[in-house]
Structure 1
Amino acid sequence: MTTVAEPRSFTFLGPEGTFTEAALLRVPEAAAGIRVPSSNAASALAKVRAGDAYAAMLPIENSVEGGVSATLDAIATGPELRILNEVVVPVSFVLVAPDGVALQDIRRVGTHPHAWAQTRNWFQAFLPAAVHVPTTSTAAAAYELRGSSPAFHAAVCAPSVAEQTGLRVLAAGIEDNVGAVTRFILVGRPGELPAPTGADKTTVAIPLPEDRPGALMAILEQFASRGVNLSRIESRPTGQFLGHYFFSVDADGHIADARVADALRGLHRVSPGLRFLGSYPRADRQPPAVAAHNSDGAFREAGDWVTALLEGRA
């Protein structure tokens, strides 16, 4: 008798129709699984930590606005989690409103802060007096407009949400940067790591051990001396006291790569509070350029040479 596995539960930054759900639907297992919206990054990761969801899809970086602080902070604190995958989604926005609301009637606009930042030039040109009302997501703003007493006159959301809600599109393609994308990460509990593909990324959170001249350089040297390229580095406050930070870093490569593993060993000596957040396939599938002296083979040969010296064979 064949046993059919129960579909896994995945959570995402909701409600339905967000760019985050669009990213989740690009993961085949999630598209066939149970999808549960969460109101924010902290609640999504709480579901994962409690075992109520297998994994959570969250935005981590935007090509216009940079890192998403809520996600960066949520995965760097609390019980450890692992990034399993990443997805990059093109971002385009429309301005929607209920029937009867014209462009000249709009004074307050609801949307996520990142969406507002990516459309500010359009609003400066066409609705300079409009005030932004922050919402938890672009889709949440659109759904609120369908309520009896919304806090704003119009919303900025994805074209798909406009179709789902039946709201009237007053303007389309209002993003300031055509071709902008948002990077999302699928986060689960610690376990077996995704196998190296040759085109991978490793994410770590590195506390600054002490505030002194050269402290950041000591961290960066661990990567530079092994030929590990950094595709993203951001400082985030720990919240403990003023001037206390950790660095959120994306490095090219997998922990199974000798150069990356050696860099992490060095980092752990410099900053013992280092948090490994995962090694996973890059969304663009582009392998990094690795110099011959930083290849796995070069690390093996160097290790064999030292072993031979210790054993008196060289």
Structure 2
Amino acid sequence: MKPKSKTLAYLGPEGTHTEQACIAYNSSAIRIPFPSIRDAVNSIVTGEAEECMAPIENSLAGSVNETLDVLIFHKNIKIKYELIIPINHYLITKAQVAFNDIKYIYSHPQAIAQCKTFISENLPNAKITATMSTALAVKQMLDTSKNESAAIGTKRSSILNNAVTIGENIQDNKSNSTRFAILSNKDSKSTGDDKTSICFELKSDRPGILYESLGEFASRDINLSKIESRPTGESLGRYMFLIDLLGHRDEPKVQLALSALKKSSSMFRLFGSYPRFKINEDKT
């Protein structure tokens, strides 16, 4: 049984998928909602919270850039655990209304992306308004004077706000899931079944340099479970790479591979080593 935090920051308000992940991870923790992922993570730095629950990757929409940005630029924030939960979206309104009467939709961009087929087939003419969270989308929808408005959110947010659910499980893929990172000031000790996340930018741009860098892992029989590139933001054509590898930073072969990679990198970040999530594992 892993240690439990007493205070857990998350993207609020109540009713978000992130809050659901908090409950699944540690139902007894004091949950502290924040208006943005960045603010939630900063609460660890200020000491307001011991840990932070942050979405890092969705099976449909891909990586959550705001969380990655925080990890890249906050050197002292580490991934301590990971958690994967199913994501089900609901179409929520003030009162019972037909789909073709809905003219406005409120939700978080990730939720919109995960329900784009449903929206295009059932609400093709609705105007979409992006919100900071799915729970906030429900509140904003209810605050409008328009009965032809709807929000995409969680079942919990509908219940909390005494709203009406007119569509259930409207996500494009019924196996939709999100991987969450539990962030803290330190990562976890080796368990023998771990994952390590890193980010790096190579010093030079020449043919074969990325192949050679990844070869540091292949030559040591280290499996990579995720490889992603994203712009550095400095100039067009410059990229950093994000990798998840199977193994712990304290393992000798992982240490050797990371040491070799650092030598060819102009920027290197170790996001942390943490136990691999198992679908059948009880995280509550």
Match of 1:14 in 2: 12
The answer to whether residue 215 in structure 2 is matched with residue 217 in structure 1 is no
* Structure 2: runs of 5+ lacking an equivalent: none
The answer to whether residue 191 in structure 2 is matched with residue 197 in structure 1 is yes
Paired residues for 1:93-242 under 5 Å: 93-99=89-95, 101-148=97-144, 153-190=149-186, 193-242=187-236
**Residue 267 of structure 2: SS of its match in structure 1?**
coil
The answer to whether residue 38 in structure 2 is matched with residue 26 in structure 1 is no
Contact 2:118 2:171 (C-alpha < 8 Å) held by counterparts: yes
Contact 2:94 2:147 (C-alpha < 8 Å) held by counterparts: no
Q: 1:246 to 1:162 in 2, by over 3 A?
A: same
Contact 2:9 2:32 (C-alpha < 8 Å) held by counterparts: yes
Per mean C-alpha deviation after superposition, the further-off stretch among 108-117 and 233-242 is: 233-242
**Residue 256 of structure 1: SS of its match in structure 2?**
coil
Q: Indicate the structure with greater strand content.
A: 2
Q: CA deviation at 1:244?
A: 2.2
Q: CA deviation at 1:16?
A: 0.8
Distance 1:179 1:285 in 2: 13
Q: CA deviation at 1:22?
A: 1.2
Q: Percent identity?
A: 36
Per mean C-alpha deviation after superposition, the further-off stretch among 101-110 and 168-177 is: 101-110
Distance 1:142 1:285 in 2: 30
Q: 1:264 to 1:196 in 2, by over 3 A?
A: same
Supply the AA of the counterpart residue of 2:120.
Q
Distance 1:149 1:188 in 2: 42
* Structure 1: runs of 5+ lacking an equivalent: 1-6, 287-314
Larger relative contact order (CA 8 Å, sep ≥ 6): 2
Paired residues for 1:28-47 under 5 Å: 28=26, 31-47=27-43
Distance 1:53 1:196 in 2: 24
The answer to whether residue 268 in structure 2 is matched with residue 281 in structure 1 is no
Relative to the length of structure 1, the TM-score reads 0.82
Contact 1:49 1:79 (C-alpha < 8 Å) held by counterparts: no
Paired residues for 1:41-60 under 5 Å: 41-60=37-56
Contact 1:95 1:156 (C-alpha < 8 Å) held by counterparts: yes
Distance 2:148 2:38 in 1: 26
Contact 1:85 1:281 (C-alpha < 8 Å) held by counterparts: yes
Q: CA deviation at 1:97?
A: 0.7
Distance 1:285 1:255 in 2: 23
**Residue 52 of structure 2: SS of its match in structure 1?**
strand
**Residue 278 of structure 1: SS of its match in structure 2?**
strand
Q: CA deviation at 1:263?
A: 1.1
Contact 1:97 1:168 (C-alpha < 8 Å) held by counterparts: yes
Distance 1:200 1:183 in 2: 15
Supply the AA of the counterpart residue of 2:182.
L
Contact 1:200 1:285 (C-alpha < 8 Å) held by counterparts: no
Distance 2:161 2:37 in 1: 24
Q: 1:197 to 1:164 in 2, by over 3 A?
A: same
1:283-302 per-position Cα deviation (integer Å, ceiling 9, x unaligned): 1179xxxxxxxxxxxxxxxx
Distance 1:127 1:22 in 2: 27
1:56-82 per-position Cα deviation (integer Å, ceiling 9, x unaligned): 110001111111111111111134211
Contact 1:141 1:155 (C-alpha < 8 Å) held by counterparts: yes
Q: CA deviation at 1:37?
A: 0.9
Per mean C-alpha deviation after superposition, the further-off stretch among 68-77 and 140-149 is: 140-149
Greater C-alpha radius of gyration: 1
The answer to whether residue 259 in structure 2 is matched with residue 265 in structure 1 is yes
Q: 1:227 to 1:139 in 2, by over 3 A?
A: same
1:71-105 per-position Cα deviation (integer Å, ceiling 9, x unaligned): 11111113421100001010111101112644222
Relative to the length of structure 2, the TM-score reads 0.91
Distance 1:10 1:110 in 2: 27
